[in-house]
A = this chain, B = another copy of it.
Amino acid sequence: MIEVGQNSYGKSAIRLVKVDRDGDAHRVRDLTIDIALVGDFAASYSAGDNTGVIATDTMKNTAYALAGEHLTGAIEDFGLALGRHFLGEPQVDRATISIREVAWQPIGSSPDAFTRDGSSARTARVAVGRDEIVIRAGIAGLAVMKTANSAFAGFPRDRFTTLQETDDRIMATAVTADWRYADGAARDFDNCYAGVRTTFLSVFADHHSESVQHSIWVIGQAILERHPEVAEVSMSLPNLHHWTVDLSPFGIENDRQVYVSTTEPHGLIEATIRRSDLG
């Protein structure tokens, strides 16, 4: 017997820009939206029966249509509105709305000219189910570097180990992090996001790191301690190695000045820091 297992479908990469022209200065919102539905869709696979299949084209139209009324605040709130809309159809059990927003900053004091802040994106993933709503917020593509207070030593050495221990290396990574809000805890999503982001950056800057793993712990612990609305935080951090260039063949000393930065291969450290069940 053959059957349909886990499945979802939807529309991805919906590119939506909204210009709020109400105030003295315009405000630009720049979103990329993915919509995915889970529910009673097995017949669309096994019988080619589209009776319940909300067209992904309709999902796209819905995102644009609801943006006027519902994209007035945080992307989490817009995600909730979209998710609830799709739950209006009985065959849908869960609608997951993922949104990536990039910021546009005014040029000087101009009311209507902007530059895009390409330094990172804000993300949200809102899963609206029949019995539960899960809201995650996050940061994507934030490149950060420590030029001091980063070590890696004390690791085991086997036949294939050539890496030297170091108490002073560059640590560089491009942050993908997201966190789940405790049920009912967060309502001012813009403030929550800004707070967690600030904590991430300040702890990244201030701590002494024994490894990328250790940094994840120190930062994650601080986020949970300072932000009670956060139930858990997950990070996926590539270790983008910066190797000190050996200039000794040229009679040149290189005391942690000149590095080659690399992307392949890279370490990849992924972990969730959470409140323990007994916490």
Residues of A bordering B, CB below 8 Å: 1-21, 26, 28, 30, 34, 36, 41, 44-46, 48-58, 60-62, 64-65, 67-68, 89, 104, 107-108, 110-120, 141-149, 152-156, 158-163, 170, 201-202, 204-206, 209-214, 216-217, 220-221, 224-225, 232, 238-239, 242, 245, 247, 249-250, 252, 254, 256-276, 278-279
Q: How many copies of this chain does the complex contain?
A: 4
Q: B50–A152 contact, CB under 8 A?
A: yes
Shortest distance between the CB of A81 and any CB in chain B (Å): 13
Bound CA span A178–B13, Å:
23
Smallest CB gap from A103: residue in B: B119
16 contacts between A and B (CB under 8 A): A1-B276, A4-B273, A5-B232, A8-B270, A11-B266, A12-B267, A13-B263, A18-B258, A21-B256, A44-B214, A50-B154, A53-B213, A58-B163, A108-B201, A110-B205, A264-B264
Q: Within the complex, which residue of B120, B141, B161, B205 is in contact with A107, where a contact is CB–CB below 8 Å?
A: B205
Cα-based distance from A144 to B30 in the complex (angstroms): 12
CB pair B2–A276 under 8 Å, yes or no, is yes
Q: A16-B261, A36-B268, A213-B9 are in contact. Are A144 and B115 (CB under 8 A)?
A: yes
Cβ A161 vs Cβ B205 within 8 A:
no
Roughly how many angstroms separate A161 CA and B65 CA in the complex, as a whole number?
A: 11
**Is B217 a contact of A16 with CB atoms below 8 Å?**
no
Residue in B51, B159, B163, B260 whose CB lies within 8 Å of A156: B51
- Starting from the known contacts A30-B261, A68-B258, 17 additional A-B residue pairs (CB-CB under 8 Å) come to A1-B276, A2-B276, A2-B279, A5-B274, A8-B270, A13-B265, A15-B260, A16-B261, A17-B260, A41-B213, A44-B211, A54-B155, A56-B267, A58-B160, A65-B247, A68-B247, A159-B250
Q: Decide: B250 and A147 in contact? CB cutoff 8 A.
A: no
User: A62-B160, A276-B1 are known contacts. Are A10 and B242 too (CB-CB below 8 A)?
Assistant: no
Contact indicator B119/A156 (Cβ below 8 Å)? no
Bound Cα distance from A51 to B211, whole angstroms: 12
Residues A252 and B68 in contact in the complex (CB < 8 Å), given A15-B265, A48-B211:
yes
